[in-house]
Structure 1
């Protein structure tokens, strides 16, 4: 099936690429970069059709994010992060969907999901407080998903712990300016968020466990297999796709730069077999990372499309595939950037920006391999992984 969003992005590739330095200088997406994403329909790729979305296959979504990130890392990252939020909003109460998309189907939703707030139950909902880091693309969003822990009557964490996803309009939270000062992905504007005594009605709250176990999508009556993907497969997809796309962008700029480059020894790159070998090996590794991520997304989709739930073991291996794909692509990128020469590190050379962006993307919590690799190895050995934090990213 044709992907008109990818076609629209391809037609405006030069524009997206040219806005990269502006995004970085602003510390957020340039308004024009956000406009391009809106006009291309990127953020509506996983949005329900009833609200003007496309309900695309996750593979199409990931391929589009890779393309954007290969043009500019920050634009691709925002597209990947903000682009997955309509997927979960499809599970939400129709009342909040109408509030968000009723008048403007291009309304964007920010996050983060990290449970850094406390939601104290009151009549009709919750009183919510907290502070969060890393709200990517937040300047261009009018609503937000925030992770929180269920509180007790005194506002302390309830026992046993229970995690919630709460949905708030822009008027109920503060974006902390100058809170995003980092070495890479500067253009994502991933700023801090503060919520003080905001009332969140019941219908704007989704229990996290119901998102993870798939019951929320079933209760919402959703039939498209897209919405029955495991959260651990869908949520990381745009983030990992953007990191691989950034590595592809670094490779493309490296190739263009090396084509006519002469080393200090007087040897042209085209005549240096060692550099040529490194280029080929890196290109093959990045291509393999792409193929692994896309294949994993397709396999997960095929499982749920068949009517079967994805098992915990399959989820663990799927997460291992995602994490390894990101690390594989960045390691390969490092090999070619190290052979790009000193001038590649000048701020007017995009190679160094892609290099910085990729490493910051790799630092995201979903790409930490420790517990993911540990749990996936145990499942393949036929050993039940311990319950608790180790399973939280699966």
Structure 2
């Protein structure tokens, strides 16, 4: 039986689709789309029950995100990114959880995690400064989590940081830079720049990134006995982004099928009767379905292992990341074959298939999908070598 959120998405999906072009025109998700996403509950799926969350199986979350992306690429992307933040917030001090969710469990938290700012230690916390890009869904969020390098006030510009944090700030303590999101895809995500100018962040609103990645944050939190919050970060956040991407690829396939079913080419070929078109669609459908299945299988395997009392080691974390990357690129490659047969008129902005295709390619530029270093690392692990290189920080 499907999770109630998935059933809600199926019911409300056509409304999300109707607002997709409006999202592109606005350069952000319309308020109505945000309201619909709240009605589905997708953003609360990884949120703890004691703060109004659904605390769902992560398999259901990934499937729900992909289903949203099938209806609206920008909404699917935001669901995958913003929907992961409650999982991380659950590992923070309960004072922070009370501040964010105490009055409204539907309060959304934006990001990004890239350490683009500086956190300077001071009495009781940190002074944060910096500018960050790619804050997806930020206009609909009232809090933000930002990556920051820790440096003493006396440190010089070339001195290395002494730590790395995720710091959380309320809307009054940061600035959204309007007109900073002008792109060729995922326009409706409104992934604008953020500026923080000397805001104070108390200690309890800061989380050590090393502890988040290696699982110590979960063990030291009030969620230490809860399997959901002890699944590795390497499976959850990058997996949520991959789910958004695969859902958009599914949208390319579905819109391509609909378009081809009613199309007659300029040469008079009825596409519904064209053997080549039908073969392309069948092969793409199989490859994209395999991408969804692999992503869901892997996170489920990790979740079940944690529930059984096992620790997820580095090798399994590498597999999670390896297959997120391969599944996303496999789905995108299959979706490209669909768009390739859609003909010249499919590039017109009134054709939905192009919106999904552009959004898919924009999403592939996210750092978690960089293939070379990650797959090099994963191949080395297969041969018994330790994970090294720039991608090691993501596993």
Compared CA separation, residues 156 and 49, structure 1 to 2 (3 A): farther
How far apart, CA to CA, are the structure 2 residues paired with 1:160 and 1:144? 22
Match of 1:368?
370
How far apart, CA to CA, are the structure 2 residues paired with 1:364 and 1:141? 21
5 Å-filtered alignment, 1:1-394, equals 2-154=2-154, 156=156, 159=160, 161-222=162-223, 223-386=225-388, 389-394=390-395
How far apart, CA to CA, are the structure 1 residues paired with 2:136 and 2:156? 28
Contact 1:120 1:154 in 2 (8 A): no
**Mean Cα displacement is larger for which, 2-11 or 287-296?**
2-11
How far apart, CA to CA, are the structure 1 residues paired with 2:186 and 2:361? 9
Contact 2:136 2:192 in 1 (8 A): yes
Compared CA separation, residues 377 and 161, structure 1 to 2 (3 A): farther
**Mean Cα displacement is larger for which, 62-71 or 302-311?**
302-311
* 1:95 CA drift (Å): 0.6
Compared CA separation, residues 202 and 24, structure 1 to 2 (3 A): same
Contact 1:118 1:156 in 2 (8 A): no
How far apart, CA to CA, are the structure 1 residues paired with 2:277 and 2:160? 58
TM-score, structure 2 as length reference: 0.97
* 1:2 CA drift (Å): 4.1
Structure 2: which 5+ residue stretches go unaligned? none
How far apart, CA to CA, are the structure 2 residues paired with 1:180 and 1:150? 28
How far apart, CA to CA, are the structure 2 residues paired with 1:247 and 1:159? 40
* 1:266 CA drift (Å): 1.7
How far apart, CA to CA, are the structure 1 residues paired with 2:193 and 2:161? 28
Would you identify which runs of 4 or more consecutive aligned residues in structure 1 move more than 3 Å? 155-161
**Mean Cα displacement is larger for which, 14-23 or 237-246?**
237-246
**Mean Cα displacement is larger for which, 256-265 or 235-244?**
256-265
* 1:154 CA drift (Å): 2.5
Structure 1: which 5+ residue stretches go unaligned? none
How far apart, CA to CA, are the structure 2 residues paired with 1:163 and 1:325? 30
Contact 1:180 1:192 in 2 (8 A): yes
How far apart, CA to CA, are the structure 1 residues paired with 2:48 and 2:100? 13
* 1:389 CA drift (Å): 2.4
* 1:275 CA drift (Å): 1.5
SS of the equivalent of 1:115 reads coil
Contact 2:261 2:271 in 1 (8 A): yes
**Mean Cα displacement is larger for which, 5-14 or 85-94?**
5-14
TM-score, structure 1 as length reference: 0.97
Alpha carbon RMSD of aligned pairs, Å? 1.2
How far apart, CA to CA, are the structure 1 residues paired with 2:391 and 2:35? 40
Q: Deviations over 1:264-294 (max 9, x none)?
A: 2222112221121111111111111111111
Contact 1:269 1:275 in 2 (8 A): yes
* 1:347 CA drift (Å): 0.5
* 1:153 CA drift (Å): 2.5
